[in-house]
Amino acid sequence: MIIKTSGIVLSTIRYSDSSVIAKIYTEKAGLQSCMVRTGKGKNALPKLAMLQPLSLVEVSFTNDDRKSLKNLRSMEREVALNGIPFDTMKTCIALFMAEVIGRAIAEEEGNAGMFSFLKNAILLLDHTEGSVNNFHLKFLVEFSRYLGFYPHQRSATESYFDLMEGEFSAFEPIHPYFMEGLVTQRFHELVEIEMSAHSTVRMTNDIRRQLLQKLIDYYRLHLHGIKEINAHKVLEEVLS
């Protein structure tokens, strides 16, 4: 059966002089590894440009459950991104988001709600004209909703966030996996706002780095088998 579907490019690995293996999260078939024939030299540039992290594409392939590597029949750009490829901060955030998505999702089946969220988040990042310094933090908060561990809400008296339980607490947890102080306050503010209001939360770069590390720990605790996330190190350099 031939499947034609929208997709989000997450990463690529060079396979030969004229082809790459691309990891693509698709709307209809979930996460797929696809062989993409790019051609050589200058002829390869148009397809390679479509394979940048978080590129929005439309692909078709034969769905054969016996083969883990799909051969693409076609690939076209679905939406042209005009901000992410040309803005250093947005590019770094895109690399981070692509790595998180690729490590968090393992299913080879469609999830229309999750795909819609991811596509809208990419378009929001691409179109945002102001600061995007908090975008990756708000993305992690909202993505956790689709992964099954969105934070429970809190009352005004709760000063800690228990990473293991996924909830705010008035008392310091007996284990080391928690947020406290200003990090908890800024995190609560991020939970409360809409995705498009990501820039309204004010925090120092130091608090931003601490919060990012805590959120990565949060993901590691709730996604069994998730490996080290590396792209955030580049983000920290850009934000320093």
Query: Other C-beta atoms within 10 Å of 172: how many?
Result: 11
Distance CA 154, CA 178 (A): 14
Q: Measured in whole angstroms, how far is the alpha carbon of residue 235 from the centre of its chain?
A: 13
From first to last of the 240 residues of the chain, give the pLDDT tens digit. Answer: 889 999 999 999 988 888 899 999 999 999 999 998 888 877 778 888 899 999 999 999 987 777 788 888 899 999 999 999 999 999 999 999 999 999 999 887 889 999 999 999 999 999 999 999 999 999 999 999 999 999 987 665 688 999 999 999 989 999 999 999 999 999 999 999 999 999 999 999 999 999 999 999 999 999 976 777 776 666 666 665
If phi over 0 gives left and psi between -120 and 50 gives alpha, with beta otherwise, what is residue 101? Answer: alpha
pTM of the model: 0.93
Rounded to the nearest 10 degrees, how much is the dihedral formed by the CA atoms of 77, 83, 88, 92?
-60
